[in-house]
Amino acid sequence: MARVLVIEDDAAINDVVTTRLARDGHAVTQAFSGSEARLLLGENNAAFDIVVCDLMLPGATGEELVGLIRARDASLPVVVISARATAADRIGLLDLGADDYLVKPFDLDELAARVAVQLRHRGMAAAASSSVLRYRQWALDTEARTLTIDGTSEVPLTKIEFNILEALVRRPNRVFSKAELFELAWGEPFAGDDSTVAVHVSNIRAKLRETGTDAYLKTVWGMGFKLA
């Protein structure tokens, strides 16, 4: 399990990236400003195995953080994510010490793959101690992408349906808005259509009805969804 620091001031993007990397078994710490990242990094970089960093940050810029990290440690991988897409920007960050550069909007699976590559270069095994998330009678295998009930009945789910359940099971006490679930399940900014998430949740409930666990999905009126 790798210790990842995600530095991104956009809370929605930060949460989506964190959820995707946690799916691979990483322990992810979130920072929402450059100044918060400075505090988390402390006097050295030993608390983390890799850093994923935006550039436009309050408190300290991404460039400043990359320079700070590199001045302390030549080996700590830094993956930059930014909307700045010019060749000069990429070259400048790589010259400063970033190990990789991904332009927004980016594919979450590509980001996860690039993080895995950097960890391999660092000589780390990034495998999770367990790929199975459990909630009451549910068992979600995040590697096989399957949902089983009581270890016997498997419920067929689409990619989006599985992503919705995974987000809920990872934080079973949290109420998720439809916008949050959309961004976590689709991996892109919310488009403003509440019905999209509601339809998928309804489809999940229909698939779960025969197992008697459909009531685990609770609607919180005016807010969103959570696990009962």
Express each pLDDT in 84-143 by its tens digit.
Answer: 878 887 788 888 888 999 998 889 999 999 998 898 887 754 444 457 888 889 999 888
| Bigger pLDDT: 227 vs 96 | 227
Give the start-to-end residue ranges of the domains of the chain: 3-121, 132-227
Taking the domain 132-227, which CATH number applies?
A: 1.10.10.10
**Ramachandran area for residue 145 (φ above 0: left; ψ -120 to 50: alpha; else beta):** left
Q: According to the model, what pLDDT value does residue 125 have?
A: 45
Selection from 156, 173, 118, 148 nearest residue 2 by Cα: 118
Q: Provide the whole-model pTM.
A: 0.58
Express each pLDDT in 211-226 by its tens digit.
Answer: 999 999 999 998 899 9
Q: According to the model, what pLDDT value does residue 78 have?
A: 94
Q: Which CATH number fits domain 3-121: 3.30.70.20, 3.40.50.1400, 3.40.50.2300, 3.90.1010.10?
A: 3.40.50.2300
Query: What single-letter amino acid sits at 100?
Result: D
Query: What single-letter amino acid sits at 77?
Result: P
Express each pLDDT in 30-80 by its tens digit.
Answer: 999 999 999 888 766 667 889 999 999 999 999 999 998 888 877 889 999
Give bridge partners of residue 11 from the DSSP assignment.
none
Q: How many CB atoms lie within 10 A of CB 144?
A: 11
Q: According to the model, what pLDDT value does residue 129 have?
A: 41
Helix (H) or strand (E) holding 146: strand 146-149
